[in-house]
A and B are shown apart, each in its own frame.
Chain A
Amino acid sequence: MVVKIIKNFFKRIFSNIFKEKKEIKLGFYGPPNAGKTSLANRICKDFTGEELGVVSKIPHETRHVQFKEKVDIDYKGKKLMFKMVDTPGIATKIDYEEFMKFKVGIKDAKKRAKEATQGVIESIKWLDDMDVVAVVLDATENPYNQVNITIIGNLAAREIPVLIVANKIDKNKADVKKIEAAFPEYDVVGISAKFGNNLEEFYESLFKLSKKVKR
């Protein structure tokens, strides 16, 4: 019995010393055009010098899940390694004619619509694989959107730690307080991914949240 306890004690100590540093899978979720890729790009650029994906004014620009592995984020002397997972925007409807408003030709619009529907399905499938999720919302839009509520509800059901990011605070119409009122149980950070405003608070909340990750 005593030998077993001693054996387990040393096993635990050595496994902790030689344990490989594990990446935290950080997912960027939210509705289309909220700024998920812009935020992921900003972080990747700051810590790796490279961007993750293409940003555009056209909704559903990200139509496949895209990653960046081994992103070491340094914040106030602490370092955590993340796998950044940028997901396509989740929507309940997709109409190819909407893309044509952005001067996209009919053939390309139909192709985009098809890929966008697949992207939504892909995003939903990936929910199970996340360690921590930043739900990126457009702070100029009404937060009481069922897509937002469904995403957050699904993450809560899976016990995945959630940080709500109110993006686009550089715009006059932005209302972070409205998002806070809509999701009072969650930490809400107002940022501008485009201009890099308030990212310090984002990193602080992210590090705090990462402590809750089940490993």
Chain B
Amino acid sequence: MVDKKIKSLGRIRGFTIQFLPYSEIKNLDSTERIRKILSIILGNNILFLQGRLKTDEEARLIGDTMAMIGHVKSFKGIELAVLNGGDQDTYYDRFKQSIANMITGGDLSAITIIGPATIVKEIKRNPKKIELLLSR
């Protein structure tokens, strides 16, 4: 059964998974952060970023990605997902989390996954599970 599943996967294109600690982008401004992220993605890497971008940076990342489609050869965009460990139920938990975020300078309980659309077909996200579907 497992063999059959592995066979059905076929050949997957080469890619690298790169982990970026938040400290690497903490002191960068929004433009530099996005430039750094996009340079990693354009190198056919799947990026696991500790923490998450600000909401306006996420929107800007989408906008900049769109601007690159058609200008960068075979670039079709990105797949993006943020897994937030801060989905707490109570206000007290959220308050504690916001204090922790203030101290660390970002939401370090989250993890952001970004991959080029040519490699990552889809990131299926449910509240407690994340699936990375790769393109062949």
* Given contact pairs A93-B76, A146-B81, A120 touches B125 in the complex (Cβ within 8 A): no
Q: How far is B81's CA from A149's CA once the two chains are assembled, in angstroms?
A: 9
**What distance in Å separates the Cβ of A92 from its nearest Cβ neighbour in chain B?**
5
Chain B residue at minimum C-beta to C-beta distance from A91: B77
User: Secondary structure at chain A's binding surface: helix, strand, loop or mixed?
Assistant: helix
In the assembled complex, how far is the CB of residue B82 from the closest CB belonging to chain A, in whole angstroms?
A: 6
Please tell me which one of the listed residues A114, A127, A181 contacts residue B59 in the complex, with CB atoms under 8 A apart.
Answer: A127
Contact in complex: A92, B65 (CB < 8 Å): yes
| Chain A interface bracket (under 10, 10 to 19, 20 to 34, 35 or more) | 20 to 34
Whether A117 pairs with B66 at a CB distance below 8 angstroms is yes
Is A139 in contact with chain B by the CB < 8 A criterion? no
Q: Which residues of A contact B67 (CB under 8 A)?
A: 117, 121
Give A60 Cβ to nearest chain B Cβ, in Å.
Answer: 11
Of A48-56, A150-158, A205-213, the segment with at least 4 beta carbons within 8 Å of chain B is A150-158
| Chain A hits for B78, CB < 8 A | 92-93
Instruction: Tell me the minimal C-beta distance from A209 to chain B in angstroms.
Output: 20
Say whether A172 faces chain B, with CB atoms less than 8 Å apart: no
Chain B residues whose CB sits within 8 angstroms of the CB of A182 once the complex forms: 127
- Answer whether residue B10 sits at the interface, using C-beta atoms and an 8 A cutoff: no
